[in-house]
């Protein structure tokens, strides 16, 4: 059974997403909305890591020997300037999408396992992942024209 | 001056707050010499307040700007209009649309906003247009869009006479709209007094009235409004004070709302907000058991943390009880500035004209057709740039052409140290258009002298949708021109053309602009198509929507409980109240709103700035009843100057005792951003909170200590309405030893 592999993958990815939100928030101190929302949304991913614990207790977690390619790419550190902000938000979006689809995988598994608790966790957490992606999408759309066309 | 000495009376309405009291201007020998209220008007019934009486015209011949000024070798020197406008046009022409920003006001007339909006959206094609109204009215608009699908004030002032309970949420009406407050006092002192509930951390005249008449005064800790509101809704649901059948028929989102407020028991809310649980229960009971509740909302909510979320909860209270669109049952999401409503309608605040939805391609096509321009010119590819973001782009240098009209950001924006640095940037080309040489004008490259109220013609709309015509009473001073003339001159020199090569802007007069606007508004919720200047010359102002079928206008919206949420109609597809993330069109349509209102929910979260050992108090800002904005007009009225001559800081009795300061002594208030020095007043605020009026800048106090409240405020804004947070700055206070 590979559920444990995917639980490990998801916990790692949520942790990486939380760290990336934190780093990007801190790296863009002059954009108050980015600071505030990255802090809030990092907290959501961190809470998801906790919420996965019950499932990990049931199915185990293959964190150590998971194949390297089953790991989410980690974030490399905040950039600066208008285009830098855009790229950072885009990295968050990529990581968040990875988390999103991984929740879909886990939810499917939960159906097959007839595990209502895991299914409930997956749907609640995925709703918050979607909240993260929605904000990122909105902010990226806002920042893009200015950053690409006229940023000095 | 006696009434019979006056040469003539000219119809107008006061522009010193959002009430828009109808008045006549007295003219003698070509000068404004007085005002009187218009008895037949639906808004003020003849009354005027202190600002209307003593500041509407007294400024008119005091140190006005009378000639354009252009910066040469570092100093501003007088120039001709041609020289000034040619300079602006030359700078404008060598830049891309996205390098242009426009920061306007809540003080211009409808005709001026609409013209500016067409210049920005169809001429240049820049999304960077917003104004001082972002600081004042953005949350009112945002909360109406989130709940009802479109902007548009649901209630009517006539609900004051018909209600049996009145809730004022963060609205010190006695200071902000004195004449509206006197309408309330008529009820309070009359036969059947309504129950009054005031939500305000200060013991204002409104709060005193609530207490005196057996109502409730709730004093939540600044920044905790959302918890308080969730608590009120929790109580409504817990006691089944809701009209479930109406809710099912006319709203969406009940289950989510009920689930969100579940944890907000009175005990928990009492802890977060530091209000007594019995007071909260009593307030909820009044809301839950009265038959006709009127709610008003203002800056205590709009300029505070989770502004849109908390204001939406006021709408929710009404929806849960089915109390909307009926006499006495209304919501008044207010605004502060006199013509703020028109920036929202005309799109000078970044929105699209006529409450059109930037994410709806059909709405963009309507505008493209109306203006006969390519739809790609109209900036609709992303949410319009809000003021705080606009200033950030100026700070970063991607906007380096900024045109400020009729407002004074060097005093009114938060964290002034930063704003002065932005205004002072070498690379920035700055145009300031105003009646006076303001603190902001000092930074300009070109200063344009503008005609003010009474010196030009135009219309404007008050907080309850009532439109008034303000006629020109006198000639502007010197070479000053109306803002409309200035914008038209710019458009002419820029040679903006439509798709067929005709002039983009075909009008030359205020009435011409009004007629163009009528066409733009036709069929939209803010329909002006049945209004004319002539109709507005009658007894009273007229509330929109006003159509050929309904020439007398509309007193109250949503009498049929059908809300403009249909995807083809709505102004916005809505947002997540916590993050501000936009709902996609697909998601919005999937909810099948079709005329139902949204019960939007959000959890409370702590404010971005909280007190610390270093900054142990919360500073909050607000108004005096005797001044408007940065006092450019009211500060030049001798009576009002005497009534409120200088800056002060209000401390609670407890905090004053602890700091050992007495009333009249000088204190310094400091935050991480800056400091203010002023005389101390001791009031009945809640301990831990201090109050700073925001009117006192530097035009008459150049060498004194810092007095502008915004020296200490923070650069933060609401995620949905983008309105800055003026109400929650962590500060410390010390006494100045003399
Ligand atoms: S209430 Fe407002 S509009 Fe009326 S007179 Fe006073 S300042 Fe003017």
ipTM: 0.90
Together in a domain, B354 and B377: yes
Please indicate, yes or no, whether residues B372 and B509 belong to a single structural domain of this protein: yes
Count of domains observed in chain B: 4
Q: Is the CB of B48 under 6 A from ligand 1?
A: yes
Sequence-distant (6+) residues with CB within 8 A of A58 are: A115, A118
Backbone angles phi and psi of B122, in degrees to 5: -115, -20
- Domain boundary residue among B520, B543, B566? B543
Q: Does residue A150 lie within any of the structural domains?
A: no
In a shared domain, residues B27 and B50: yes
Residue of B12, B49, B171, B339 best suited for mutating to test ligand 1, as the one with most atoms within 8 Å of CB: B49
- Least CB-CB distance to B716: which of A32, A40, A146? A32
Q: Pick B298 or A81 by higher pLDDT.
A: B298
Q: Judging by DSSP bridges, how do beta strands B597-598 and B617-622 pair with one another? A: unpaired
Give the Cα separation of A59 and A3 in Å (integer): 7
Residue range of the domain that includes B514: 69-132+339-543
Within this chain, do residues B36 and B185 fall inside the same structural domain, yes or no?
Answer: no
CA of B14 to the centre of ligand 1 (A): 6
B497 and B475 assigned to the same domain = yes
The rounded distance, in Å, linking the Cα atoms of B648 and B626 is 14
B364 plus B309 within the same structural domain = no
CATH number of the domain that residue B486 is part of: 3.40.50.740
C-alpha dihedral sign at B167, B170, B174, B178: negative
**Does residue A92 form part of some domain?**
yes
d(CA B200, CA B273): 12
Q: Considering the domain boundaries, does residue A74 fall inside one? A: yes
Q: For residue B577, is it within any domain?
A: no
- Per-residue pLDDT, B83: 97
Contact check, Cβ <8 Å, A151/B396: yes
- Read off the CATH number of the domain in which A137 is found: 1.20.1260.10
Residues B440, B489: one domain?
A: yes
- List chain B residues with CB under 8 Å of A152: 396-398
Q: What is the number of the ligand 1 atom nearest to the C-alpha of B17? A: 2
The verdict on pTM exceeding 0.90 is: yes
Tell me, yes or no, whether A152 lies in a domain.
Answer: no
Domain end among B334, B364, B393? B334
- CA B536 to each of CA B8, B20, B150, B467, B500: distance values in angstroms, whole numbers, following the listed order: 19, 14, 25, 8, 35
Say which of B389, B393, B580 has its CB closest to residue A138.
B580
Could you tell me if B679 and B712 are in contact, meaning their C-beta atoms sit under 8 angstroms apart? no
Q: Which of B276, B301, B334 is the last residue of a domain?
A: B334
**CA–CA separation, B378 vs B548, rounded Å?**
30
Classify residue B480: in a domain, yes or no.
yes
Report the Cα B361 to chain-centroid distance in Å: 28
Q: Where in the sequence is the domain holding A41, given as residue range(s)?
A: 3-145
The pLDDT tens digits of the residues spanning B388-402 come to 999 999 999 999 999
Is residue B554 in some structural domain? no
Give the tokens for residue B650: 């209000």
Nearest to residue B199, comparing CAs of B733, B727, B732, B603? B727
Same domain, B327 and B236: yes
Q: What residues in chain B have per-residue pLDDT under 50?
A: none
How many Å lie between the alpha carbon of A40 and the closest alpha carbon of chain B? Answer: 9
Q: Are residues B321 and B384 in the same domain?
A: no
Where residue B292 sits, what CATH number does that domain have? 3.40.228.10
- Asked if B608's CB is within 8 angstroms of A36's CB, the reply is yes
Closest residue by CA, ligand 1 atom 5: B52
For residue A147, pLDDT beyond 60: yes
Q: Is residue A87 part of a domain?
A: yes
Substitution candidate for ligand 1 out of B12, B16, B464 with most atoms within 8 A of CB: B16
Chain A residues within an 8 Å CB radius of B580: 33, 37, 135, 138
- Do the domain assignments include residue A28? yes
pLDDT at residue A70, as a whole number:
52
Q: How many domains does chain A have?
A: 1
pLDDT at A71 exceeding the cut of 80:
no
Burial of A116 (0-12, 13-18, 19+ CB in 10 A): exposed
B164 and B269 assigned to the same domain? yes
Residue A116 lies in a domain: yes
Considering the domain architecture, whether residues B352 and B379 belong to the same structural domain is answered as yes
Pocket of ligand 1 contains residue B195 by CB under 6 Å: no
B389 and B492 in a single domain? The answer is yes
In a domain, B252, yes or no: yes
pLDDT band at A63 (very low <50, low <70, confident <90, very high): low
Q: Which of A145, A148, A151 to mutate to test the interface with B (most CBs of B within 10 A)?
A: A145
From the number of C-beta atoms within 10 Å of its C-beta (0-12, 13-18, 19+), residue A112 rates as exposed
What is the per-residue pLDDT across B565-598, written as a single tens digit (0 to 9) for each?
Answer: 999 999 999 999 999 999 999 999 999 999 999 9
Q: Which residues pair with B131 in a beta bridge?
A: B104
Cis status, amide bond into B663, omega within 30 of 0: no
Residues in B whose CB is inside 8 Å of some CB of A read 96, 98-99, 127, 381-383, 385, 388-389, 392-393, 395-399, 575-576, 578-584, 605, 608, 715-717, 719
Put simply, the answer to whether A149 touches B580 (Cβ < 8 Å) is no
Written as six digits, the tokens of A92 are 């968050």
Of all protein residues, whose CA lies closest to atom 6 belonging to ligand 1? B49
């Amino acid at each position: 059974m590979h559920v444990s592999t995917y639980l490990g993958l998801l916990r790692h990815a949520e942790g990486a997403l939380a760290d990336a939100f934190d780093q990007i928030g801190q790296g863009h101190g002059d954009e108050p909305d980015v600071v505030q929302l990255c802090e809030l949304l990092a907290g959501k991913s961190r809470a998801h890591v906790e919420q996965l614990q019950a499932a990990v207790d049931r199915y185990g977690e293959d964190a150590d020997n998971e194949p390297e390619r089953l790991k989410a790419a980690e974030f490399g550190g905040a950039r600066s300037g208008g285009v830098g902000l855009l790229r950072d938000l885009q990295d968050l979006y990529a990581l968040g999408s990875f988390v999103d689809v991984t929740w879909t995988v886990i939810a499917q598994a939960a159906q097959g396992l007839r595990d209502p608790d895991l299914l409930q966790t997956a749907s609640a957490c995925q709703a918050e992942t979607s909240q993260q992606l929605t904000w990122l999408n909105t902010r990226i759309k806002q920042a893009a024209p200015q950053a690409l066309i006229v940023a000095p | 001056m006696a009434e019979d000495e006056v040469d003539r009376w000219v119809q107008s309405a006061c522009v010193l707050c959002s009430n828009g009291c109808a008045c006549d201007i007295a003219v003698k020998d070509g000068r404004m010499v007085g005002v009187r209220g218009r008895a037949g008007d639906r808004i003020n019934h003849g009354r005027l307040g202190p600002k209307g009486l003593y500041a509407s015209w007294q400024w008119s011949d005091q140190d006005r700007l009378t000639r354009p000024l252009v910066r040469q070798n570092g100093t501003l020197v007088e120039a001709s209009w041609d020289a000034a406008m040619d300079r602006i046009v030359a700078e404008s022409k060598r830049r891309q649309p996205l390098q242009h920003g426009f920061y306007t006001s809540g003080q211009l007339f409808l005709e001026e906003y609409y013209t500016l909006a067409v210049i920005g959206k169809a001429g240049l094609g820049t999304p960077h247009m917003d104004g001082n109204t972002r600081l004042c009215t953005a949350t009112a608009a945002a909360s109406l869009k989130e709940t009802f699908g479109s902007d548009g004030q649901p209630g009517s002032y006539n609900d004051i006479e018909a209600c049996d309970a009145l809730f004022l949420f963060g609205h010190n009406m006695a200071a902000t709209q004195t004449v509206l407050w006197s309408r309330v006092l008529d009820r309070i002192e009359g036969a059947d007094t309504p129950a009054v509930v005031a939500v305000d951390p200060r013991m204002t005249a409104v709060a005193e009235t609530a207490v005196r008449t057996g109502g409730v005064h709730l004093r939540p800790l600044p920044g905790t409004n959302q918890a308080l509101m969730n608590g009120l809704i929790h109580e409504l649901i817990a006691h089944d004070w809701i009209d479930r059948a109406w809710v099912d028929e006319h709203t969406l989102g009940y289950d989510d709302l009920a689930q969100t407020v579940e944890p907000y028991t009175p005990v928990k809310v009492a802890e977060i907000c530091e209000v007594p649980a019995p007071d909260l229960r009593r307030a909820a009971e009044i809301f839950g058991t009265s038959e006709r509740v009127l709610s008003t909302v203002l800056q205590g909510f709009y300029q505070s943390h989770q502004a849109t979320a908390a204001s939406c909860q006021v709408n929710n209270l009404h929806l849960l009880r089915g109390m909307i669109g009926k006499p006495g049952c209304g919501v008044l999401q207010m605004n502060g500035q006199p013509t703020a409503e028109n920036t929202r309608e005309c799109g000078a605040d970044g929105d699209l004209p006529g409450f059109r939805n930037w994410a709806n391609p059909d709405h963009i096509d309507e505008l493209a057709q109306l203006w006969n321009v390519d739809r790609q010119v109209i900036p609709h590819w992303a949410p319009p740039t809000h003021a705080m973001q606009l200033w950030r782009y100026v700070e970063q240098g991607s906007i380096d052409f900024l045109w400020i009209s009729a407002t004074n950001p060097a005093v009114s924006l938060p964290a002034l140290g930063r704003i002065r640095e932005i205004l002072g940037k070498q690379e920035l080309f700055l145009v300031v258009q105003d009646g006076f040489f303001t603190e902001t004008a000092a930074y300009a490259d070109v200063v344009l002298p503008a005609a003010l109220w009474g010196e030009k013609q135009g219309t404007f709309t008050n907080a309850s949708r009532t439109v008034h015509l303000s006629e020109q009473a006198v000639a502007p001073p010197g070479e000053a021109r109306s803002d409309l003339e200035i914008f038209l001159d710019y458009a002419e020199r820029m040679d903006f053309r439509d798709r067929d090569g005709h002039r983009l802007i075909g009008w030359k007069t205020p009435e011409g602009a009004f007629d163009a606007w009528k066409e733009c508004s036709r069929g939209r919720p803010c329909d002006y198509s049945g209004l004319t200047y002539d109709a507005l010359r009658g007894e009273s102002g007229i509330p929109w929507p006003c159509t050929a079928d309904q020439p007398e206008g509309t007193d109250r919206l949503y009498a049929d409980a059908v809300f403009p949420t249909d995807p083809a109609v709505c102004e916005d597809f809505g947002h997540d109240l916590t993050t501000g993330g936009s709902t996609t069109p697909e998601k919005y349509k999937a909810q099948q709103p079709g005329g139902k209102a949204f019960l939007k929910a959000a959890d409370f979260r702590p404010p971005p700035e909280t007190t610390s050992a270093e900054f142990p108090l919360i500073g909050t800002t607000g108004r005096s009843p005797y001044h408007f904005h940065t006092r450019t007009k009211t500060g030049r009225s001798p009576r009002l100057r005497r009534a409120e001559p200088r800056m002060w800081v209000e401390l609670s009795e407890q905090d004053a005792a602890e700091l050992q300061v007495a009333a009249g002594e000088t204190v310094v208030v400091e935050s991480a951003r800056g400091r203010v020095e002023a005389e101390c007043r001791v009031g009945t605020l809640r301990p831990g909170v201090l109050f700073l009026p925001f009117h006192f800048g530097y035009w008459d106090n150049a060498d004194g200590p810092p007095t502008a409240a915004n020296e200490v405020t923070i650069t933060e804004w609401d995620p949905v309405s983008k309105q800055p947070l003026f109400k929650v700055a962590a500060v410390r206070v010390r006494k100045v030893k003399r």
